């Protein structure tokens, strides 16, 4: 884990939880996918449902569609940590507000191995903010919601609030944003997000 | 993975659920920055790619062949044959699923229907595609609505009316059944009921129809399925069903028309044309011909055969109209010909009038003028719009004595300009539909004889294949399909180059066939076209004709049936269309080389 991961590899990760309070809520599913260069290795994914220590709350069940009965027979998170840590290794972790997911994981990892996750963190919302609003004048309205970023980058929307789908969409956002950054391309702030048509329609007949 | 991977998208819809899971588990997602090469020309590929977002260019050297968009997959040749015919590169940021080669090859091994998508040869792919369509055909017939069928008119008589009145009314409206109104109730009476009453029961023709009518009507709505009608007729042993739209009776559906619809009734229409006593009878038959095309297509009949059937019906129609309108002098000493796509027998839906008249000698002017107007006018009434180029009998340039045509041919060949080339093309595709065939045979023999060996003329003639470039960019999905932007013109980009290239070769070799497919076969016999290539050309042509027919049927109200919207095609059809355009491109190169067009 302290060994650096293979060069040019990161892991996109997302956790579905019983709620948003790190202290009282808990993880119910974990999705993670490795990214090697520009390839998202969906064929080697990590996808687990967990039996949470905390009680499932109705409002959260409405979001992730995992009911008490769906998680009852799953392993508690302690049993999955070994596999997860092995999967992640020393690779940087990519997520949407990734600090929250890591804080949730650290609740269990700290007692398990005595330390918190040391991996470098890459937050999608920060990366997006930098490329879109980095040079913006003050007082501009900023939208960093998951669906806004998704739409802006024209990434197909998969059913959300499934840990693996969220991790995969995060991974697609990451490869897109990283490439834009590498090429020095900023994301335009105009309101129009119409799809570009390189031919201008008529050219189909030309 | 990706549960989100769309397994309903062809060719993956041919996989079993278990195979889909195998495929899904093996998929990765790959990001390509703009300009990145994905598969080099001539290279193999370790994966089959299916586009999630973005646009991929397919290139042959510096030529842009196609733009691929979401759900398109590439490249089967690079995957299966280890060598890509073309290069693929990202035009803009693109995300693709990547299915490992060995996984796809395993699926190809285990699933022949899936495998057919990867055949290198367009002819085999198309065969497979047609077979698949065949399997669906009965389903689509049964999903048709009653309103699409021929209905006998809803005519009423009163229950107090006599048998005689009913019989005369049936004769008058040419129907074998009438609705009978008796106070609040409605019944039906048929010709058979009348006959039986009079002949078998010796009832007087003055008997009222009340006691003879049946009041146990079976009714359906116009938007009910044809299959419902068939089930009701069988179950209740009824030959007729009353069609009612709320309180209003709109017609009577007879079993024979249901069966005719299911089986197709080209022979019935042919009979109606032969028996037609006047223009109105012919007009009715002309309307039925149009409906027939839809039926035949639904039955999964090959588009070539539909073309033949429709041409045959139109030929009978024109021939009968010629008999009805032409004076004896013109009938004996004239040849009525059809030209353009009608002449080639590729007219699958009714379009413009394209016809002419060859006379053996001069005809009295007033009589000729009268016939010209009457004939073209009747066709307009039947729903054949006038030809925009005025290639029709009503135009004196296309209805004149034989020597005048021969003089024309001479001047077209001596002073060839664009109009001359077009006129040669029109006349060369002409086919006689009525009158004296020998007149057209003579004109064509003269045309072939004069064109023989005229290489300069033939080359100029063939050059028209480059009038319209092969459409590229056709596979790009536009988010907004409101405009015409995402439509491609099949006629200009695909059909015309084949028709005209084949026509040029046919003229050079003096072929008398007019249909493009028959010309291709003959050119193959003569060794002008390689057998393998002739088959590809033939199949590509048929496929595009079929797409065009579907377009025409879909837009039968509009006038732009030659436009095809890639977004409305399945990705399988898009893939086949891509192959078909590739054949067109190869054929163009062949024609350019054959006629040495590079010299211009």
Residue B317 CA to residue B424 CA, distance in Å, equals 26
Q: What region, left, alpha or beta, does residue A154 occupy, with left being phi > 0 and alpha being psi -120 to 50 degrees?
A: left
Rounded to the nearest 5°, which phi and psi values hold at A142?
-115, 130
Nearest CA in chain A to B478: A197
| Distance of alpha carbon B410 from alpha carbon B404, whole angstroms | 10
Q: Where in chain B is the domain with CATH 1.20.120?
A: 462-599
User: How confident is residue B555, by pLDDT bands cut at 50, 70 and 90?
Assistant: low
Region A130-135: what's the mean pLDDT? 87
pLDDT at B3: 65
Distance, in Å, from the CA atom of B50 to the CA atom of B98, rounded to the nearest integer, reads 7
Q: How many CB atoms lie within 10 A of CB B96?
A: 27
Q: Which residue has the higher pLDDT, B84 or B328?
A: B328
- pLDDT grade for B566, boundaries at 50, 70 and 90: low
> Comparing C-alpha atoms, which of B99, B123, B139 is closest to residue B15?
B99
Q: Are B444 and B358 in contact (CB under 8 A)?
A: no
Confidence of residue A42 (pLDDT cuts 50, 70, 90): very high
Higher pLDDT, A74 or A86: A86
| Stretch B461-488: mean pLDDT | 57
Name the band, by pLDDT with cuts 50, 70 and 90, for residue A35: very high
Could you tell me which of A99, A105, A53 has the C-alpha nearest to residue A83? A105
* Position with higher pLDDT, A69 vs B15: B15
CA geometry: angle at B120 spanning B498 and B543, to 5°? Answer: 35
Chain B residue whose CA is closest to A202:
B485
Q: Which CATH class is domain B462-599?
A: mainly alpha
Q: Rounded distance, CA B163 to CA B212, Å? A: 9
Per-residue pLDDT at B557: 39
> What residues of A are in contact with residue B3 (Cβ under 8 Å)?
158-159, 165
Helix, strand, coil distribution of chain B in percent, nearest 5: 55, 15, 30
**Max intra-chain CA distance, chain A:** 67
Q: Which residues contact A131 (CB under 8 A, 6 or more apart)?
A: A177, A180, A181, A185, A186, A187
Q: Which of B32, B103, B485, B567 to mutate to test the interface with A (most CBs of A within 10 A)?
A: B485
Q: Residue A114 above 70 pLDDT? A: yes
- pLDDT for residue B558 is more than 60: no
Q: Quote the pLDDT of residue B299.
A: 65
Q: How confident is the model at residue B475 (pLDDT cuts 50, 70, 90)?
A: very low
pLDDT at residue B4 in the model = 74
Question: Percentage of chain B with pLDDT > 90?
Answer: 35
Task: Find the mean pLDDT for residues A161-169.
Answer: 89
Tell whether B64 is within 8 A of chain A (Cβ): no
Which residue has tokens 């398109």?
Answer: B72
Q: Which strand (E) or helix (H) includes residue A46? A: strand A39-49
* Strand B177-182 to B156-158 pairing: parallel
Query: What is the CATH number that goes with domain B12-120?
Result: 2.60.120.10
pLDDT classification of A85: cutoffs 50, 70, 90: very high
Dist. CA B383–CA B283, nearest whole Å: 8
- CB A201 to CB B3 under 8 A? no
Length of chain A: 206
Structure tokens at B260: 């005719």
The Cα–Cα gap between B412 and B503 comes to 17
Determine the pLDDT at residue B277: 82
Q: Is the pLDDT of residue A64 over 50?
A: yes
Q: What pLDDT, in 10s, does the model give residues B338-382?
A: 998 888 888 666 567 889 999 998 888 899 999 999 999 999 888
Tokens at residue B471, please? 């459409």
Element (H, E) at B520: helix B516-525
- Residues from chain B contacting residue A154 (CB–CB below 8 Å): 53
How high is the pLDDT of residue B123?
58
Give the nearest chain B residue to A160 (CA atoms).
Answer: B4
Selected residue with higher pLDDT from B556 and B260: B260
For residue A26, pLDDT over 90 is answered with no
CATH 3.10.580.10 residue window(s) in chain B: 146-258
**Cβ contacts of A158 on chain B, cutoff 8 Å:** 2-4
More confident site: B475 or B77: B77
B411-449 per-position pLDDT tens digit: 999 988 888 999 999 999 999 999 999 999 999 999 999
Is the peptide bond between A160 and the residue preceding it cis, with omega within 30 degrees of 0? no
- What percent of chain A shows pLDDT beyond 70? 88
Give the ipTM of the model, two decimals please: 0.77
For B28, which of A42, A195, A197 is closest by C-beta distance? A42
CB contact under 8 A, A201 and B483: yes
Taking the C-alpha atoms of residue B307 and residue B34, their distance in angstroms, rounded to an integer, is 46
Q: Are B95 and B31 in contact (CB under 8 A)?
A: yes
Give the SS3 label for residue B202: coil
CA quadruple B499, B501, B505, B510: dihedral sign = positive
CB B13, CB B83: distance < 8 Å: no
Alpha carbons B407 and B405: distance in angstroms, whole number? 5
Distance CA B324, CA B25 (A): 71
Nearest CA to CA, how far is B580 from chain A (Å)? 17
Work out the percent of chain B whose per-residue pLDDT is above 70: 86
Which residues of chain B make contact with A39, given a CB cutoff of 8 A?
Answer: 28-31, 98
What backbone phi and psi angles, to 5 degrees, belong to B312?
-65, -45
Residue B132: the pLDDT is: 58
For residue B408, pLDDT beyond 90: yes
- Mean pLDDT over residues A5-14, rounded? 89
> Where does residue A93 rank: exposed (0-12), middle (13-18), buried (19+ CB within 10 A)?
buried
Nearest to A43 among B25, B471, B488 (CB): B25
Residues from chain A that touch B577, judged by Cβ atoms under 8 A, are none
The CA distance from A40 to the nearest CA of chain B, in Å, is: 5
Domains, in order of start, for chain A: 9-184 (3.30.420.10)
DSSP letters for B55-119: -EEEEETTEEEEEE-TT-EE-HHHHHSS--SSEEEESS-EEEEEEEHHHHHHHHHH-HHHHGGG-
The segment(s) of chain B belonging to CATH 3.30.460.10 are 264-451
Q: Which of B1, B92, B488 sits opposite A204 (nearest CB)?
A: B488
Select from B192, B195, B179, B301 the least CA-distant residue to B250.
B179
What are the start-end ranges of the H helices in B160-278?
Answer: 163-173, 191-195, 226-236, 255-263, 266-275
Which is the CATH superfamily of the domain at B146-258? CBS-domain (3.10.580.10)
Q: Average pLDDT, whole number, for chain B?
A: 83
| Residue B129: predicted pLDDT | 61
pLDDT, one tens digit per residue, over B132-183 is: 555 555 445 656 788 877 788 899 999 999 999 999 999 888 888 999 999 8
Measured in whole angstroms, the distance separating CA B446 from the mean position of its chain's CA atoms is 32
In sequence order, the 6+-apart residues with CB closer than 8 A to the CB of B564 are: B487, B488, B489, B490, B547, B548, B551, B577
Buried/exposed code over B352-379 (b: 16+ C-beta within 10 A; e: otherwise): bbbbbbbbbeebeeeebeebbebbbebb
Q: Which residue has the higher pLDDT, B559 or A67?
A: A67
Residue B480 has pLDDT above 80, yes or no: no
* pLDDT reported for residue B596: 87
Q: Pick the range with the lowest mean pLDDT from B11-25, B76-90, B512-526.
A: B76-90
Distance from CA of B70 to the nearest CA of A (A): 10
What are the helix and strand counts (H, E) for chain A?
7, 5
pLDDT band at B503 (very low <50, low <70, confident <90, very high): very high
Specify the higher pLDDT residue, A83 or B9.
A83
Task: Supply the pLDDT for residue B17.
Answer: 87
Confidence at residue B161, expressed as pLDDT on a 0 to 100 scale: 92
pLDDT in tens, B237-259: 788 999 998 888 999 998 877 77
B478 to chain A nearest CA, in Å? 8
Instruction: Give yes or no for residue B2 having a pLDDT over 60.
Output: no
Is a pLDDT exceeding 90 seen at residue B525?
A: yes
The C-alpha atoms of residue B89 and residue A134 are separated, in whole angstroms, by 31
CATH number, domain B264-451: 3.30.460.10
**Per-residue DSSP letter, A34:** E
Query: What pLDDT band is residue B69 in, cutting at 50, 70 and 90?
Result: confident
Lowest mean pLDDT across A60-64, A81-85, A200-204, B397-401: A200-204
Task: Mark yes or no for CB contact A201/B1 under 8 Å.
Answer: no
Q: Directed axis angle between helix B571-594 and helix B122-142, to 10°?
A: 140
Q: Which of B350, B355, B264 is nearest to B310 (CA)?
A: B350
Q: What was the pLDDT predicted at B428? A: 95
A28 in Cβ contact with A58 (< 8 Å):
no
Q: What is the pLDDT of residues A173-191, one digit of tens each?
A: 999 999 999 998 888 886 5
Q: Is B32 on the interface with A (CB under 8 A)?
A: yes
A201: pLDDT strictly greater than 50? no
Q: With contact defined as beta carbons under 8 Å apart, do B178 and B242 qualify?
A: no
Considering only alpha carbons, which residue of chain B is nearest residue A183? B33
**B304-337 pLDDT, tens digit each:** 777 777 888 888 889 999 999 999 889 989 999 9
pLDDT of residue B10: 74
CB-based burial label for A10 (10 Å; 0-12, 13-18, 19+) = buried
d(CA B224, CA B250): 13
Q: Is the pLDDT of residue B580 over 70?
A: yes
How many angstroms separate the CA atoms of B230 and B387, rounded? 42
Cα–Cα distance, B357 to B399 (Å, whole number): 4
- CA A147 and chain centroid, separation: 12
Comparing B566 with B548, the larger pLDDT belongs to B548
pLDDT band at B60 (very low <50, low <70, confident <90, very high): confident
In this predicted structure, the answer to whether residue A31 has a pLDDT above a threshold of 50 is yes
């Amino acid at each position: 884990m302290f060994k650096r991961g293979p060069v040019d590899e990161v892991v996109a990760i997302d956790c579905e939880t019983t709620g948003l309070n790190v202290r009282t809520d808990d993880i119910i599913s974990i999705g993670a996918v490795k990214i090697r260069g520009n390839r998202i290795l969906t064929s080697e994914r990590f996808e687990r449902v967990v039996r949470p220590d905390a009680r499932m709350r109705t409002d959260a069940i409405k979001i992730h569609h995992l009911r008490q009965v769906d998680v009852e027979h799953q392993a508690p998170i302690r049993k999955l940590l070994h596999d997860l840590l092995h999967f992640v290794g020393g690779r940087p972790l990519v997520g949407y507000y990734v600090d929250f997911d890591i804080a949730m994981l650290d609740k269990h990892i700290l007692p398990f191995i005595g330390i918190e996750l040391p991996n470098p963190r890459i937050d999608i919302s920060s990366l997006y903010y930098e490329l879109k609003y980095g040079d913006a004048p003050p007082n501009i309205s900023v939208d960093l919601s998951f669906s806004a970023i998704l739409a802006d980058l024209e990434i197909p929307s998969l059913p959300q609030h499934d840990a693996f789908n969220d991790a995969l969409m995060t991974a697609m956002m990451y490869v897109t944003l990283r490439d834009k950054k590498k090429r020095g391309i900023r994301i335009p702030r105009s309101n129009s997000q119409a799809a570009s048509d390189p031919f201008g329609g008529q050219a189909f007949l030309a | 993975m990706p549960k989100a991977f769309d397994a309903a998208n062809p060719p993956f819809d041919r996989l079993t659920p278990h195979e889909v899971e195998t495929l899904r588990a093996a998929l990765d997602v790959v990001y390509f920055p703009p300009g990145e090469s994905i598969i080099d020309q001539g290279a193999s590929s370790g994966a089959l790619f299916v586009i999630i977002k973005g646009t991929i260019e397919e290139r042959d050297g510096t030529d842009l062949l196609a733009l691929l968009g979401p759900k398109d997959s590439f490249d089967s040749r690079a995957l299966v044959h280890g060598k890509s015919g073309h290069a693929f590169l990202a035009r803009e940021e693109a995300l693709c699923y990547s299915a490992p080669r060995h996984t796809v090859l395993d699926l190809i091994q285990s699933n022949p229907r899936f495998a057919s998508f990867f055949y290198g040869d367009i002819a085999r792919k198309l065969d497979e595609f047609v077979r698949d369509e065949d399997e669906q055909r009965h389903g689509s017939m049964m999903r048709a609505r009653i309103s699409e069928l021929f209905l006998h008119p809803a005519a009423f008589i009163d229950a107090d009316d006599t048998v005689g009145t009913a019989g005369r009314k049936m004769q008058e409206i040419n129907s074998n059944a009438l609705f009978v109104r008796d106070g609040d109730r409605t019944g039906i009476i048929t010709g058979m009921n009348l006959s039986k009453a009079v002949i078998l029961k010796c009832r007087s023709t003055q008997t009222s129809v009340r006691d003879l009518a049946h009041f146990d009507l079976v009714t359906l709505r116009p938007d009910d399925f044809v299959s419902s009608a068939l089930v009701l007729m069988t179950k209740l042993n009824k030959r007729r069903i009353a069609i009612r739209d709320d309180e209003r009776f709109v017609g009577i559906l007879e079993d024979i028309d249901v069966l005719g619809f299911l089986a197709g009734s080209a022979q019935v229409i042919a009979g109606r044309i032969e028996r037609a006593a006047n223009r109105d009878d012919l007009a009715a038959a002309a309307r039925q011909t149009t409906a027939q095309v839809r039926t035949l297509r639904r039955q999964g009949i090959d588009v070539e055969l539909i073309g033949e059937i429709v041409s045959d019906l139109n030929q009978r129609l024109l021939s009968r109209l010629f008999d009805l309108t032409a004076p004896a002098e013109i009938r004996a000493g004239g040849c009525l010909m059809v030209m353009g796509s009608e002449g080639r027998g590729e007219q699958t839906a009714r379009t413009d009038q394209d016809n002419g008249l060859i006379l053996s000698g001069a005809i009295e002017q007033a009589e000729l003028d009268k016939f010209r107007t009457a004939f073209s006018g009747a066709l307009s009434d039947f729903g054949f719009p006038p030809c925009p180029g005025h290639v029709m009998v009503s135009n004196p340039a296309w209805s004149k004595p034989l020597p005048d045509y021969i003089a024309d041919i001479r001047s077209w060949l001596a002073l060839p300009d664009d109009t001359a080339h077009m006129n040669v093309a029109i006349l060369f595709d002409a086919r006689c539909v009525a009158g004296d065939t020998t007149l057209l045979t003579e004109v064509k023999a003269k045309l072939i004889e004069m064109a023989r060996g005229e290489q300069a003329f033939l080359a100029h003639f063939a050059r028209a294949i480059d009038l319209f470039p092969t459409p590229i960019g056709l596979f790009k999905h536009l988010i907004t399909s409101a405009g015409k932007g995402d439509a491609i013109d099949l006629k200009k980009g695909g059909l015309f180059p084949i028709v005209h290239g084949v026509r040029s070769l046919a003229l050079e070799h003096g072929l008398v066939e007019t249909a493009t497919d028959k010309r291709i076969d003959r050119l193959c016999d003569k060794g002008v076209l390689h057998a393998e290539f002739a088959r590809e050309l033939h199949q590509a042509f048929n496929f595009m004709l079929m797409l065009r027919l579907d377009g025409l049927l879909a837009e039968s109200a509009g006038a732009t049936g030659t436009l095809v919207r890639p977004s409305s095609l399945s990705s399988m059809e898009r893939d086949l269309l891509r192959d078909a355009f590739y054949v067109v491109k190869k054929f163009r190169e062949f024609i350019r080389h054959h006629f040495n067009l590079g010299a211009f």
